[in-house]
Amino acid sequence: MRWSQVWMRRTVIVVLALAVPAFALVAFEGLVRGGNETDRPHLIERAWHAPANAAKSLKLFVSGQKISAAAGSARAGESTGNEVNLPVLVYHNVRDKEAAKPPGLRPYDITPAEFDAQMAYLEKNGYTSVSFGDLESALDGGKHLPPKPVLITLDDGRESQWQDAYPSLLRHHLTATFFVFTNAVGHDKYFTWEQLKEMQANGMDVQSHTVYHPYLTKADDATLRKEMERSKASIEKNLGTKVIAVAYPFGLHDARVDAAAKAAGYLFARTLNHVTRIGSADHMNVPGYITTGDIRNFPRILSGEK
């Protein structure tokens, strides 16, 4: 091989080595900023969901007292005035895709069989599913949650939840909160308003996951306001119910995002963490836990131990 051919080959390798990651970055950014809106949650949440162990450093402030997340001595369902012990489960896709991987390696995919096994566990062990309205009554209205409460949430409004999660919930006499981002409703592979209406008529709750599922901490003030207000108004208009909770996309928020959510009229915001104690100061930081299909971990998730 002549020297010039060697040089040419090396140049090609260097250019490819630089171009492939650059192309991947441009393609990803294209989906974030424009592209196909309905593809956003799946791709972005894989990259950006907060690590599950982030909860370890979280502190809760209740009635001026600081308690650590690990100090969970209250039994599930026990209400101490302005504080409850309530596991909040978070699910995304309920489908068999990627089922070959172990549950721990697919946090956003639980198979229909795994989901059904967890719902069966809840029913068999005497758990009662509650809503954000029930949480409000417990934190602000002095009412008690039922013994062994659980708040089941499903994000993004994907049709896989309609096909496999919804029938399983009904079968096991449980209800759940579906967080939909309203731009996706009616698109291929997402819920339609008719499906949401039917689920609502059968006890399910539909709350906001914003309009376009953006990074709220990076949105300008006007965009932030629109994401909060328009998603709430759209669900209320189409379903005729009051929207009181928003799930922050990727669980990302800060004081400005919390203030915008409050100003738009939300009473609660769900974030991502693993803490089962929820106090009056946590309205804009109700911690949900991304629950994988591993049934062996499920009791620990419910108890807040893992």
Binding site for Zn ion (CB under 5 A): 41, 155-156
User: Which CB, 90 or 275, lies closer to Zn ion?
Assistant: 90
Whole-angstrom CA distances from 2 to 11, 15, 61, 108 are 14, 20, 72, 52
Q: How far is the CB of 176 from Zn ion (least distance, A)?
A: 15
User: Which CB, 83 or 155, lies closer to Zn ion?
Assistant: 155
- Listing DSSP states for the chain in one string gives --HHHHHHHHHHHHHHHHHHHHHHHHHHHHHHHSS-GGGHHHHHHHHHSPPGGGGGG-EEEETTEEEETT---SPTT-B-SSEEE--EEEE-EESSTTTTS-GGG-TTEE-HHHHHHHHHHHHHTT-EE--HHHHHHHHHS-PPPPSSEEEEEEETTBHHIIIIIHHHHHHTT---EEEE-GGGTTSTTB--HHHHHHHHHTT-EEEE--SS---GGGS-HHHHHHHHHHHHHHHHHHH-S---EEEPGGG---HHHHHHHHHTT-SEEEEE----EEEGGGTT-EEEEE--S-TTTHHHHHHT--
**Burial zone of 159 (CB within 10 Å; 0-12 exposed, 13-18 middle, 19+ buried):** middle
Q: How far is the CB of 252 from Zn ion (least distance, A)?
A: 11
User: Which CB, 67 or 180, lies closer to Zn ion?
Assistant: 180
User: Which CB, 209 or 274, lies closer to Zn ion?
Assistant: 209
User: Which CB, 154 or 260, lies closer to Zn ion?
Assistant: 154
User: Which CB, 115 or 190, lies closer to Zn ion?
Assistant: 190
User: Which CB, 267 or 272, lies closer to Zn ion?
Assistant: 272
